[in-house]
Amino acid sequence: MGHEGFGTSLRIYPDMNSLFHGVLFLSHFAILPLAAQVGDTTVRPGPQRFSEATSPPAANPIENLIRERAEALDQLQEEREIIFRKRAKFHMQREQSLADREEALTIRERQISTLEAALRTRESVVTAREAMISAREGFLGINETTPPTKKPRSPAPTIVGKYACVIDAISGTVLHEKDSQAKVAVASTQKLMTALLVVEAGDLDKKIVIQPEDVLVEPTIIGVKPGQSYTRRELVRALLIRSGNDIALTLARDHAGSIPAFAEKMNMRALSLGMVNTEFKNPHGLTVAEQGSTAYDMALLGRAAYAQPFIRDCIQTRSETFTFEDGSTRLLTNTNKVLTRLSSCNGMKTGYTNASGYCLVASAEKDTKALIVVVLKSNGTWVWKDTQVLLEWGMRS
């Protein structure tokens, strides 16, 4: 085979692997002329043998080139993989850093929103307190410099209720206390706070549509139905006269958007009144862990509610007909029986649960004197007797 044949053989192996095998094939046939020159006409297959005097053939340059090229490609691939891993790690670190920054921004935005909401609540509390003070001054014809009332010299009567407090509604002077700083459940008497927040917010003739979640409560209800609408004025009256828990939920949701948000407003308002041992969790007073107040704190609440003319009108109403949207009616009878037993009594709010026992915040007014009496954890009908004797004692003193 001549040079022309060798060139033809190269052309038929276009890739490196085929070229390598082609070179080996041609090298085998290149031995034939060399064998003929030394007189050996027979070429046997198998490995070639060389004498000690004869040197092995030189390495094929094409094989070396292929090997070097393969090694270079392997090294290049390894270097590229190392670079790729480094870049991938760097990008992962950047992504994690961005995620951490986003989370930090979200937390910061949430904190700012909370602070802004707290500031708005605080501003509304200050405004409401100013309005309450002005209303109280206008109704009672006094100002904040009214001198404190002298405490009675005669001892207060003994009562069954475990906790009690009697204060002067005009000056706020404490006239009598019985474990008045003990924090206990106060049941529906805390609806006074629910009513106070709604009345202070104003717009009492605005209509509220009853929602399904508003009526998911027991046991004392007025019986409103989802989809019906009533004014805030109608609902506050029903709340204070007959103590409807469904009404309390409706007013709370309308006022704050949710029960937890309304409870927060209740607690903010309580602090503004000096009720430092009070924590409210719902607008109706049904038993919840850690919810409670004290006889003294409830007296402060009663005094603030008493300064609102509309609330005073509601709590002294003995009975009233509630008209449902469908035209049906229900007679609402005030749960405060002291209203019918003592002529000077002009209202306030009852409460009862197994945890709280029988509770009552009551008010009375006679001549130039006005009192707030709180009795907590009494028994059965004794709550009416306890309250009545304390009111009578306060009026005599």
**191-201 vs 232-242: helix crossing angle, rounded to 10:** 160
Report how far residue 353's alpha carbon sits from residue 184's, in angstroms, rounded to the nearest whole number: 12
The catalytically annotated residue of 178, 180, 188, 349 is 188
Looking at 154, 180, 229, 243, which residue is catalytic?
A: 243
φ, ψ of residue 154 in degrees (nearest 5): -75, 145
33: preceding bond cis by omega (within 30 degrees): no
Q: Is 188 a catalytic residue?
A: yes
Three-point CA angle 172, 176, 181, nearest 5°? 85
Instruction: State which H helix or E strand residue 165 sits in.
Output: strand 163-168
Q: Measure Cα distances from 315 to 193, 223, 247, 275 in Å.
A: 13, 20, 16, 22
Contact assessment for residue 166 and residue 175, using Cβ atoms and an 8 Å cutoff: yes
DSSP string for residues in 124-135: HHHHHHHHHHHH
Active-site position among 9, 27, 154, 191: 191
Alpha carbon distance 187, 358 (integer Å)? 9
Q: What gap in Å lies between CA 27 and CA 62, rounded to an integer?
A: 12
Structure tokens, 155: 């001892």
User: In the chain, which residue ranges form alpha helices assigned H by DSSP?
Assistant: 3-11, 16-29, 31-37, 61-140, 191-201, 232-242, 245-256, 259-272, 295-306, 309-315, 382-396
CB 164 within 8 A of CB 386: yes
**Burial degree of 82 (CB within 10 A; 0-12, 13-18, 19+):** exposed
Q: Answer yes or no: 18 catalytic.
A: no
Contacts of 160 (CB under 8 A, 6+ apart): 378, 379, 382, 383, 385, 386
For the annotated catalytic residues, the residue numbers are 188, 191, 243
